[in-house]
Structure 1
Amino acid sequence: MAKTLGTERHKALIALLIEKREAAGLTQIELAEKLGEYQSFVARLESGQRRVDVVEFLELSEILDFDPYKALQTVSHLK
């Protein structure tokens, strides 16, 4: 399996998460607090330095109030 960091899918997923966080009116610090993490966790995620695992993705979708299935459909067609 090829590396996934920096791929078009990864970039699209990051952009989607940033868009959803901003639409929810949350700062990185506020989102981190809701996740029980430090702001640097969110910063690394949003800068593409770390992957988002499935459980984290589902938690993010709940906190940011978006449909995880639709979000995955949006990025799934990219390579």
Structure 2
Amino acid sequence: MTKSIFSDRYQHFRKLLVNARNKAGLSQTQLAEKINKRQTFISKYEIGERRIDVVELIEIAEALNIDPCEIIVELKKVKA
């Protein structure tokens, strides 16, 4: 089994988060401020250097005004 961070599904996950941030009109710095993290936190998960857990996903989704379940539904469409 491939480590999840290198899987097609995780790559798609990162793209979904980047697209959601861009659609919300936020820079990495602005999103980081909304969730009380450093900009490097956002950068690292967006480029795949850091994984995020489900609690972090919920915090990010709330800051982006999206439903985290929608991201999960989209990920289920990607072949594992």
Q: Percent of aligned positions with the same letter in both sequences? A: 37
Equivalence for 2:75 = 75
Equivalence for 1:63 = 63
| Gaps in structure 2 of 5+ consecutive residues | none
Distance in 2 of aligned mates of 1:56 and 1:20: 15
Q: Give, in angstroms, the shift of residue 30 of structure 1.
A: 0.5
Structure 1 ranges of 4+ moved more than 2 A: none
Q: Give, in angstroms, the shift of residue 25 of structure 1.
A: 0.5
| Gaps in structure 1 of 5+ consecutive residues | none
Equivalence for 2:33 = 33
RMSD across aligned C-alpha pairs, in angstroms? 1.2
Distance in 2 of aligned mates of 1:23 and 1:77: 21
Aligned length: 79
Equivalence for 1:54 = 54
**What TM-score results when the alignment is normalised by the length of structure 2?**
0.91
Q: Give, in angstroms, the shift of residue 2 of structure 1.
A: 4.2
